[in-house]
Amino acid sequence: MTDYLHDTVQEICACIRFDSSEAKSSAEYPFGKGAADCLNYFLALAQRLGFQTYNYDNYIGEVIYGDGPEEFAVLCHLDVVPAGGGWTKEPFGGIIEDGRIYGRGATDDKGPAVCALYAMKALKDEGFVPKKRIKLIVGCNEENGWRCIEHYNQFATLPDEGFSPDANFPVIYAEKGILQLRLHFPFDRSPFLFMEGGKQPNMVCDFCKSTMRSVNVTLAEKYGLTIAGKRLLSYGRTAHASTPELGQNAILPMLRYYEGKSPEVRRILECVFDDIYGLRELKDETGSLTMSPNVIKFRKGQLNVTVDIRYPATIAPETVYALVDKFNVKYETLHHQRPLFRSKESPLIQTLLSVYRAATGDESAQPLAIGGGTYARALKRGVGFGPEMGGEDCHIHQADEFIEVSRVALLLEIYRNALRELTKA
């Protein structure tokens, strides 16, 4: 696969240079021009490599390989979360430095999408004829609601089986449920005039600001806050909402500052940070529930807090809702994806596990469960398959996201072998 490594690396860099985070929509650009431009670039690249492509109204696209009666999907996404702060590299620069490709989407998920495309190119060049029709499907709204998948289902048919290279190795058999709620906490009289923080629910908030009625310098220093005139600033560190412990939530010290000034603020802290109702005590073999309050905004006498909850795969969502009801506040469900749970012994999982073991020599590798959510849930028999490995931090949803060039080489090998094994008969 070394023959394809250079081109793959260069095309990953090219895709990163499109800011494909969700932007102002229009009839032509449902998720913003940047996402559409990235999609069209990717599909044009696939055409140059000799594949048939389809663009479904700039919502989502696909690359076709083979014409067998059965189909197999590789589900990727080209949209990204906003850059956020704290970068030491250009977020959309697509630069290579010290053996790493830096930029938003390098690992999540532009890098793996390009690797999957070139894995198909390698199979094509060696004369492999798949017995199943391979669909490399690339969406533009994975990070913000999956409207791309909904649109695809209106005009085409998803295969029953496939994998999404948007998770971890060796292979993912379970993904937690995802529940994003907007909670409405009313105030009789707030101790602040303005408060706002966070960019979107699936990113740990890295910046929060408020306007004070009065200044308490000592208290601000206690919680590490910055005073700018009448404005109070809180800086944190972003992370993926499925692993909030890897970030530093900027909302928490801001609310701690006001805790002693307002019973309403104290109540918010009890519910979403102190977890007095025990949501985080829910757990099973896929792990414990995580709850990350990532977006906050004060308006019309109430503080709206958007929380991202990842609940264990065998726990019913009704159990989670019952605990949230104890907050005794109005709330709305912004987004809900039920868990994914597959048999570890299924042929798909065992084949992918075998491919991974052969490529890495790690015979002890076993299927995993994760808190992240992938397009694999859209399939009847779908699983997550790479690109991350246990114990590493590629800064997904964080500053200085990257993918190792050596990982690109490994992905080319693994995805080529996986597609061969899964579509040869």
CATH number, domain with residue 156? 3.40.630.10
Q: With beta carbons less than 8 A apart as the criterion, state whether 220 and 232 touch.
A: yes
Q: Are residues 89 and 146 in the same domain?
A: yes
Domain residue limits at 93:
2-174+341-423
- Work out whether the CA dihedral 360, 364, 367, 370 comes out positive or negative: negative
Counting Cβ atoms within 10 Å, is residue 414 exposed (0-12), middle (13-18) or buried (19+)?
buried
**What pLDDT does 400 receive?**
97
**Position 336 pLDDT exceeds 90:** yes
Pair (269, 400) in one structural domain: no
Alpha-carbon distance of 119 to 410, in angstroms, equals 11
Residue ending a domain, among 279, 306, 337, is 337
pTM comes to: 0.88
In this prediction, residues 330-356 reach a mean pLDDT of: 96
Indicate whether 71 pLDDT > 70: yes
117 and 133 fall within a common domain: yes
CA 185 – CA 264 distance, rounded (Å) = 7
Percent of the chain at pLDDT above 70? Answer: 100
Tokens coding 120: 């198909």
User: Could you tell me if 209 and 278 lie in one domain?
Assistant: yes
Please state the rounded mean pLDDT for residues 142-162: 96
pLDDT at 390 over 90: no
**Whether the predicted pLDDT of 89 surpasses 70:** yes
Confidence (pLDDT) at 328: 97
Q: Is the pLDDT of residue 264 over 70?
A: yes
Distance of CA 190 to the CA centre of its chain: 34
The token pair at 27 is: 């009839």
pLDDT of residue 357: 98
147 shares a domain with 20? yes
Are 190 and 300 found together in one domain? yes
What the block records as the tokens of 322 is 């019952």
Does 107 have pLDDT greater than 80? yes
Q: How far apart are CA 234 and CA 247, in angstroms?
A: 14
Annotate 341-358 with b (16+ C-beta within 10 A) or e (fewer).
Answer: bbeeebebbebbbbbbee
Residue 361 has pLDDT above 90, yes or no: yes
Take residue 412 and report the two structure tokens written for it.
């080319």
Question: pLDDT tens digits for 34-58?
Answer: 999 999 999 999 999 999 999 999 9
pLDDT of residue 145: 86
Q: Which of 131-145, 165-179, 259-273, 386-400 has the lowest mean pLDDT?
A: 386-400
Pairing of the two strands 207-212 and 192-197: antiparallel
CB atoms within 10 A of CB 333: 12
Residue 1's pLDDT is 59
Rounded to 5 degrees, what are φ and ψ at 165? -80, 60
Q: From CA 250, how far away is CA 223, in angstroms rounded?
A: 10
Same domain, 389 and 325: no
Give the integer Cα–Cα distance in Å for 134 and 62.
10
CA distance 19 to 13: 12
Q: State which of 337, 372, 397 marks the end of a domain.
A: 337
Q: What is the pLDDT of residue 393?
A: 86
Same domain, 196 and 294: yes
Judge whether residue 392 has pLDDT over 90.
Answer: no
Tell me, what's the pLDDT at 382?
A: 97
CATH number of the domain within which 299 lies: 3.30.70.360
Residues 215 and 358 in one domain: no
- Cα distances (Å, whole numbers) of residue 1 to 37, 122, 123, 419: 28, 7, 10, 14
The residue out of 318, 337, 356 marking a domain boundary is: 337
Q: Give the H/E segment covering residue 85.
A: none
Mean pLDDT of 11-16: 98
Residue 183 shares a structural domain with residue 149: no
- Look at the chain and count its residues: 425
Is 164 a residue whose pLDDT tops 80? yes
Looking at the fold, whether 137 and 223 belong to one and the same domain comes out as: no
Residue 224's contacts (CB-CB under 8 Å, 6 or more residues apart) are: 234, 253
Report residue 2's pLDDT band, with 50, 70 and 90 as the boundaries: low
Q: Are residues 322 and 350 in the same domain?
A: no
Q: Taking residues 104-118, what's their average pLDDT? A: 98
Looking at residue 215, its pLDDT comes to: 86
Q: What sign results for the dihedral spanned by CA atoms 61, 178, 259, 221?
A: negative
Burial bucket for residue 387 (CB in 10 Å: 0-12, 13-18, 19+): buried
CA 130 to CA 122: how far, in whole Å? 13
d(CA 242, CA 299): 28
> Is the dihedral angle over the CA atoms 286, 78, 202, 101 positive or is it negative?
positive
**Class of residue 361 by CB neighbours under 10 A (exposed 0-12, middle 13-18, buried 19+):** exposed
CA angle 424, 375, 396 (to 5 degrees): 110
Name the one residue in this structure whose structure tokens are 């159990």.
Answer: 319
Amino acid identity of residue 12, one-letter, is I
Query: What is 1-57 written as a DSSP string?
Result: -HHHHHHHHHHHHHHHTS--B-----SS-TT-HHHHHHHHHHHHHHHHTT-EEEEET
Residue among 141, 148, 179, 204 at smallest CA distance from 334: 179
Kindly state the percentage of the chain with pLDDT values over 90. Answer: 94
Report how many domains make up the chain: 2
What is the dihedral angle through the alpha carbons of 401, 407, 408, 409, rounded to the nearest 10 degrees? 160
Total Cβ atoms within 10 A of residue 214: 7
